[in-house]
Amino acid sequence: MKTLGHWIGNKPVESTSGTFGPVYNPATGAQPTQVSLASVEEVDAAVAAARAAYPEWSQSSLAKRTAFLFKYRELLDARRDEIAELITAEHGKVHSDALGEVARGMEILELACGIPEKLKGELSTQVSTRVDVASIRQAVGVVAGITPFNFPAMVPMWMFPLAIACGNTFVLKPSEKDPSAAYRLAELAAEAGLPEGVLNVVNGDKVAVDRLLAHPDVAAVSFVGSTPIARYIQAEATANGKRVQALGGAKNHMMVLPDADLDHAADNAINAAYGSAGERCMAVSVVVAVGGIADELVAKIAERAGALRIGPGDDPASEMGPLITREHRDKVASYVSGAAAQGAEVVVDGTGFSVEGHENGFFLGVSLLDKVRPGMAAYDDEIFGPVLCVVRAETYDEGLVLINSSKWGNGTAIFTRDGGAARRFQLEVEAGMVGVNVPIPVPVGYHSFGGWKQSLFGDLHIYGNDGVQFYTRGKVVTTRWPDPADSAGINLGFPSNH
């Protein structure tokens, strides 16, 4: 069995903790890898490497940083398939989906390549006689990133390229369920010429997380994961004086108005609900059918759901792969049976699904639940699996109240041909990311990603301009270079602007 350790100071480091976590192939249920779970001392070693690298890296020129970033992008571009294969082997998503993940992560790397434009300061000249004032932004220090299992390459790339472009050094703690893609990203960074200690990967569980949150040399923490853990990350990190951006969970609603193209809406509901087996924080998990369209829309979604091809992620014929673990699959399945007991109509039941030849894999068919209401567990909880709920609303206003009553506010969408209704929705809905006839409105790299309410803890979203602001801190420099002939002598009065 392969053992994956840590990456510290541009080299692999074998763990001495003696504790390991299983890394499964979700399509087969086999365990080809175990990952080392770091001790406090091993986390400290990674932070120490980042701390030692910080002075020189933070003072390096923008030209040097961008030269590395461009070379790194070239390497990753050539290794897209390799990284996607690692994702499929440990996460289970189909290869095309894994390739898409790599591509979206590389958008942020490409944004980082343009960091000189983002770090341009502001200058006001002659604010007073021969006095100039400049506002600049500088790196914050050692930054930690704690990332989830569902995007083992993309979410780390949401963080470290921008952080190191801004002059920080980085310690990444990826999910212990599928750590190999993040580890490979760090290896390739070293190959591209990143100095040792600038990017480190320490694998681990809560022991590693808690040490990063408490470590006095860690200045900032980025996190993407569930809402309970995001709340915990923010509380612990801020108590220790760190800046935090912590993105939590979601229950994303897709409102379909009576004038919408129902075939288009059904196609997009399928794509957004069941892609990546529903293990996306931006997945659509609730369709709000407005007016009298529900029966027809549900029938169209059910017809498409029955035709989906589910199988191993490395099979080109597969459209959806397995879930990440057996335990998670069973938990997701329990919501389907529970919904029936609570009065929902199970239109499509995927709980008895298996793949011939892969009976030990963590597969689950897609499920469609109709006539779901708030108060049912399938509606109230973030299921994080291939289960789509349909809620019926008589009017737009009723649907809007339903969406805005959610404790989450990550993403939402409206499907309509009515521009006025769409404009109302984008202004009135309480969510951080809104799609108009776009079911998964994940922003491009130069706009920031993040939700509202219990989907975000901290003030700043991730990547884009918010990411640059998070990974830097402002400084204002006031400068006077007086002409020696103008010396006015001593004056103890308060300086005025003349």
Catalytic residues: 281
The letter for the amino acid at 47 is: V
Report which DSSP code applies to 320.
Answer: B
Closest CA to 174 of 143, 141, 202: 202
Spatial distance between the Cα atoms of 242 and 236, rounded to a whole number of angstroms: 9
Neighbours of 296 (CB within 10 A): 12
Q: Kind of pairing, strands 345-348 and 367-370?
A: antiparallel
Report which DSSP code applies to 126.
Answer: E
φ and ψ at 374, to 5 degrees? Answer: -55, 145
- Which two three-digit tokens encode residue 20? 């390991």
Helices (H), 353-474: 377-380, 396-404, 419-428, 464-470
Closest CA to 187 of 52, 353, 365, 9: 9
Sign of the CA dihedral with 72 first, then 75, 77, and 82 last: negative
Spatial distance between the Cα atoms of 498 and 479, rounded to a whole number of angstroms: 15
Spatial distance between the Cα atoms of 147 and 175, rounded to a whole number of angstroms: 6
Helices (H), 9-114: 40-58, 62-78, 80-91, 95-113
The letter for the amino acid at 386 is: P
Distance of CA 272 to the CA centre of its chain: 16
Spatial distance between the Cα atoms of 425 and 416, rounded to a whole number of angstroms: 11
- The CA angle 249-159-440, to the nearest 5 degrees, is 45
- Which two three-digit tokens encode residue 490? 């001593």
- Which two three-digit tokens encode residue 136? 């600049």
> How many helices (H) and strands (E) are present in the chain, helices listed first?
16, 23
Q: Which residues pair with 268 in a beta bridge?
A: none
Q: Kind of pairing, strands 243-247 and 218-224?
A: parallel
Q: Kind of pairing, strands 252-256 and 284-290?
A: parallel
